[in-house]
Amino acid sequence: MRKSVLIIFLLPFFCIGQEYIDLFKIGYGQSIKNEFKNIDESTSITSFKAGLTVPIPINENHALITGAEFSFNKLQLFPDSEFKNLYNTFLSLGLASTWSEKWSTTLVLLPKIASDYKQISSDDFYIGGIGILKYKKSENLLYRIGFYASQEAYGVFATPILGLYYKSPNEKFEMDLSLPIKGDINYNLGAATLGIDYFGISRSFNLQFDNSPAMYADLSSTEFATYLQFNVFDERILLRTKLGYANDDYKVYEKNDKIDLALSAFRFGDDRTQLNPPFKGSIFVKLEMVYRYDLAKSNSK
């Protein structure tokens, strides 16, 4: 009974596009070799990410979106230095609303703590948010437009979002784009799915070094990958193996070295002095697991 009530409340939100909710995600990745530019030195980058999403129905047209995500990257920021753990923990609290058969919105507040977690203070706390407007063109096609903004150690980062969601009538081919942040194109073979995806982020982390002034790392990352996904337990559990190329550049600056504004890939008023050598891109491998709740299948049952 409780399961049926949940489906009735949430189905209107996710039938306008995806007919599923990814309730839990976890992933582990390892780069092959990240070289420093103009220096015969390199570092490996180990990454881990886990996230939880919990929708809470208010009524048939509105639902709270709650969740949390934790991630860390382990690497050397300077040649021959000790490995540094960079942590990012954020909470999500938002509202998903259906206004008509064609229009819906999602507004989410994203407070976070991002640093090496050596001495957590108010300087490690940032707040951001995202807003998305969705238009359902047909049963198989949805358009989205939105905006994301966040406080960072270097100032304010912001980017517009343009995208679409399409699923073929035979439910084999799927395209999910929210550019320039992420994109996914895949083809379902039944027990397995073949796909390619893209992920681009801009993040920062406060840093503490012994006997050194306070600094921060400014991460600009773009990842392109191909993946093989195994669909098990009636496609509730998705197991992905990825191979791709990542351009991860962790630029280190003094704490008070700021910019005016970061708008997507553009930096305005950026006359900062980088303290470490730039990074080259690298091949990476990644393993992911997703627990997916398929609303359409559950509703039919």
Q: What pLDDT is stored for residue 213 in this prediction?
A: 87
Per-residue confidence (pLDDT) for residue 147, from 0 to 100: 97
Domain spans in the chain, listed from the N-terminal domain onward: 2-300
Please, which pLDDT band fits residue 33 given cuts at 50, 70 and 90? confident
Q: Does domain 2-300 have CATH number 2.40.160?
A: yes
Q: What is the mean pLDDT of residues 174-186?
A: 96
User: What distances in angstroms separate CA 35 from CA 170, 225, 271, one per listed residue?
Assistant: 45, 20, 25
Per-residue model confidence as pLDDT tens digits over 192-250: 999 999 999 899 999 998 888 899 999 999 999 999 999 998 888 999 999 999 999 99
What's the chain's average pLDDT?
90
Is 13's pLDDT higher than 50? Answer: no
Judge whether residue 11 has pLDDT over 50. no
Q: Is the distance from CB of 51 to CB of 25 less than 8 angstroms? A: yes
| CA–CA separation, 267 and 155 (whole Å) | 10
Radius of gyration of the chain (CA): 20
More confident residue, 63 or 293: 63
pLDDT band for position 297 (50/70/90)? low
In contact, 180 and 202? CB cutoff 8 Å: no
- Please count the residues of the chain: 301
One DSSP character per residue, 26-56 reads EEEEEES-EEBTTSS-EE--EEEEEEEEEEE
Query: How many other CB atoms are there within 10 angstroms of residue 152's CB atom?
Result: 21
pTM to 2 decimal places: 0.87
- Would you give the DSSP letter of residue 69? E
- For residue 209, the model assigns a pLDDT of 86
One-letter amino acid for residue 177 of the chain: L
